[in-house]
Structure 1
Amino acid sequence: MKALILDDDSLLADLMETVVGGLYPGVDIFVTASVRSALMHWSEHGSDLMIIDWNLPDGSGLEVVRTVREKSRETIIVMVSGRADRDSVLKAARHGINGYISKPFDVAMVHDRLTALMDPAALDRESRPDLEHLLQISVESVIQLPSAIDTAQVIELMERKQDLSPSQLAERWNDEVALTTRLLDVANSASFQKTGEPVRSLRDAIATMGVDMALRHAMAMSLDISGHLRDSRLAGKATAFLETAEKVAQEAVRIALRVGSDQSEVHMAALLSRVGELAVLKVMQQCLDRKGLVSDEQIEDGLKAWAQNYGNRLKVQWHLPLQLRELIGAVHFLPREVTSESKLVMHASALIADGQNQGEECLRLLRRLGVENHDRGSDDG
């Protein structure tokens, strides 16, 4: 499959590239901000999907639509514009577009629009894709987890949390109904409710729990993809992986509190420790959606063979700092000679979450951290 994205806003173009790459693994995506280069590329290579901005530095996106429609009715064309009035939509429609997206927009809406417009099975030219082949080509593409909240955006917010106020976060998340509900529930829980007066606004909920805690909950929600996996086996796996990651995160925060390590950093590393598995499950669901076959054995084998590759790919794609990448890796494996306190915390937490808190390796790590009497789930941190 070939796709062309024409937009002079680099952030929106990157967002569209991420969504398209996530929907259609292995897709060949050409991104440009120029009408001229878009037309040249299309004339030489063609395209199955074109996402075209209306106003561009060297002309109008409608010019591209007109040119393409003179020679092709099969290409799916989606117009993107800040114009949301009826006359503009009708004007674009007269040129033969397949869809119209008004700015600003969110990932979930774009995902749904493109899914409705395009038939993945037809575009792939395969009625029954092979899972192994799909996993091989998907790991080289832009990976997008099927969640209403973009994990990469939450990571970016975490990196500049010191500069964010509750009001700024509330404004950013104002349309995120599920996240708003969750943060209000947390803010009104016994842990935070001290005054007896209920918290009613998103801004007050964030102020009550703090920006860092609000971002932690947003991160967890961005990784909850179970509701987007229609196969019950895959959804169950996704739920189990996220629950495991959250258990590791809870233990990591408890130990970090006792040894004086950065709680936020170990918490984020723990939550991200199963993103590879989640990405693999997403590809398996895509295979099923395209009428492919995925057996129970293939699920287990695919996770074992590809989770690490997908996890590494996402670490690069999300531009995670080296320190954070190493902490995520320490959840799964820790060389005996490692002395980094944070890495020791990560691996000990993973062992405790796995029920190995009385095992020789776990006890050795806790002794090195100076918390030999650490009890799983203890209230003293």
Structure 2
Amino acid sequence: MNVLIVDDDELIGDLLETVVASACPGAHIQIFTLLQSALRYWQQQPADLVITDWNLPDGSGLELIRAVRKTSDSIPVLMISGRADRESILAAAHLGISGYISKPFQVDALHKRLIELVPASAIQHSGISTLDEKMEAACSSAIQLPGQIDTAEVLMLMHKDDALDAGMLAEQWKREPALIAKMLDVANSASFRRSGTSVKTPREAISVIGVSMALNQALALSLDIAGKLACPPLAERARLEQEQALRIAESARALAQKIGDSPAIYYTAGLLSRSGELAALKVLQNHCDQSGEPPELEQIDSAIAYWAEKLGNRIKVQWHLPLDLRELIGAVYFLSKSNVSRSKLVMRAAALLAAEQVEGLECRTLLRRLGIEHREKGQDDARQQS
């Protein structure tokens, strides 16, 4: 199955690729940012599914739709546009589109629409059967974690957080009840309560906790995939991986505050530190669904040990994570003794603290290099007794 995606926003294009890859396993996906490039591709190799934006730098997506309909009336064509007025929708419908989705779109809604549009017979099954083959294929394709909200969407918002305010985020997330509930819960927690009165609206909640923390809370929810994995051992492992990521994030935030750095990026790095492990669990669930056989615990451990790093690297590229954020995530797992980057020292120390290795030589050395006092347990007990 060949899929043609046309959108001048590269981040949106990548997000669309991820959703299509999830809805249409085995599909060959081609992405263009210019109309003329897409038209040339279509003339040489017609696609089985076309998704196009309306406004493109060198023309209108309507031209592509006309070209498609000259060839076939049955090929599914989706228009995805920021235009939501009745006239635009009718103009596109007049050309015979299969659906019109307004930006910003809901990933779940688009995924559902694609499954409805594309018949199962059109999806090319790759013949991949073994778990290792599935893992290898995932390392070279788009990966979508099955969280309650889409991680890529949250990261796109993070790219432009300087231009966001509480009202904008509240509007963006008004159809995300789980996320709104999470924001209200965090804003009303003891650590954020200031006036003694409860916070009742999403906008108030985001104002209380701040845009950066609100985005990180959304990111945490997007990475919480345990409830989406049907196999109990996989769901339990996902829960443990997510809990560990949260511990690293909290430790990194505390350390950043102690050394006077803004904690937001450290917290983000901590949350993303288990993305490779979560991606491996998602592939394991796909394998379980197809084989009908739940994996053994040893198989889960082995798959994560071998594939998590590779899948993590793939998903970081897919999400367009900036280099500094990738390096912070990498420092969670390894840091050379010659490293002098304070931010990386923070992340490695946070990982050790989260793993309860505070008394270890490496952790004590890192804390000392950060200028953070550390008292061993015996010293603390002696102080308390005195």
Could you state the TM-score of these two structures normalised by the residue count of structure 1? Answer: 0.83
Aligned to 1:216: 216
| Amino acid paired to 2:136 | Q
Does residue 1:63 correspond to 2:62, yes or no?
no
Q: How many residues align?
A: 372
Structure 1 stretch displaced more, 158-167 or 306-315? 158-167
Contact 1:143 1:279 in 2 (8 A): yes
Aligned to 2:167: 167
Equivalent positions of 1:259-338 (< 5 A) are 259-291=259-291, 295-296=295-296, 297-338=298-339
| Amino acid paired to 1:2 | N
Does residue 1:102 correspond to 2:101, yes or no?
yes
Cα shift readout 1:148-190 (whole Å, capped 9, x = no counterpart): 4333343343344344322222222222221111111211222
Contact 2:272 2:329 in 1 (8 A): yes
Aligned to 1:45: 45
Does residue 1:158 correspond to 2:164, yes or no?
no
Cα shift readout 1:58-115 (whole Å, capped 9, x = no counterpart): 6445534533436xx5x554454656869968995995x6x52431322121122223
Once residues 86 and 376 of structure 2 are traced to their aligned partners in structure 1, the CA distance between those partners, rounded to angstroms, is 61
Once residues 236 and 3 of structure 1 are traced to their aligned partners in structure 2, the CA distance between those partners, rounded to angstroms, is 35
Once residues 340 and 325 of structure 1 are traced to their aligned partners in structure 2, the CA distance between those partners, rounded to angstroms, is 14
Shift, 1:134, TM fit:
1.8
Shift, 1:240, TM fit:
1.1
Contact 2:149 2:221 in 1 (8 A): yes
Q: List runs of 5+ in structure 2 lacking aligned partners.
A: 381-386
Contact 1:127 1:290 in 2 (8 A): no
- 3-state SS, counterpart of residue 195 of structure 2: coil
Contact 1:54 1:62 in 2 (8 A): no
Contact 1:130 1:292 in 2 (8 A): no
Q: Residues 343, 122 of structure 1: CA spacing in aligned structure 2 closer, same or farther, 3 A cutoff? A: same
- 3-state SS, counterpart of residue 274 of structure 2: helix
Aligned to 1:136: 136
Contact 1:145 1:279 in 2 (8 A): yes
Contact 1:26 1:137 in 2 (8 A): no
Q: List runs of 5+ in structure 1 lacking aligned partners.
A: none
Q: Residues 212, 273 of structure 1: CA spacing in aligned structure 2 closer, same or farther, 3 A cutoff? A: same
Once residues 320 and 374 of structure 1 are traced to their aligned partners in structure 2, the CA distance between those partners, rounded to angstroms, is 36
Does residue 1:363 correspond to 2:368, yes or no?
no
Shift, 1:7, TM fit:
4.9
Once residues 295 and 188 of structure 2 are traced to their aligned partners in structure 1, the CA distance between those partners, rounded to angstroms, is 43
Structure 1 stretch displaced more, 240-249 or 134-143? 134-143
Shift, 1:241, TM fit:
0.9
Could you state the TM-score of these two structures normalised by the residue count of structure 2? Answer: 0.82
Shift, 1:206, TM fit:
1.0
Contact 1:22 1:145 in 2 (8 A): no
Structure 1 stretch displaced more, 330-339 or 52-61? 52-61
Once residues 255 and 88 of structure 2 are traced to their aligned partners in structure 1, the CA distance between those partners, rounded to angstroms, is 60
Contact 2:25 2:125 in 1 (8 A): no
- 3-state SS, counterpart of residue 72 of structure 2: helix
Once residues 360 and 162 of structure 1 are traced to their aligned partners in structure 2, the CA distance between those partners, rounded to angstroms, is 39
Once residues 290 and 43 of structure 2 are traced to their aligned partners in structure 1, the CA distance between those partners, rounded to angstroms, is 29
Once residues 127 and 84 of structure 1 are traced to their aligned partners in structure 2, the CA distance between those partners, rounded to angstroms, is 44
Cα shift readout 1:35-55 (whole Å, capped 9, x = no counterpart): 776565445434343335578
Aligned to 1:176: 176
Q: Residues 291, 3 of structure 1: CA spacing in aligned structure 2 closer, same or farther, 3 A cutoff? A: farther
Once residues 351 and 76 of structure 2 are traced to their aligned partners in structure 1, the CA distance between those partners, rounded to angstroms, is 47
Contact 2:231 2:294 in 1 (8 A): no
Structure 1 stretch displaced more, 269-278 or 218-227? 218-227
- 3-state SS, counterpart of residue 308 of structure 1: helix
Cα shift readout 1:185-241 (whole Å, capped 9, x = no counterpart): 211222222323221211111111222221221121121122222222222222111
| Amino acid paired to 1:197 | T
Structure 1 stretch displaced more, 130-139 or 189-198? 189-198
| Amino acid paired to 1:100 | G
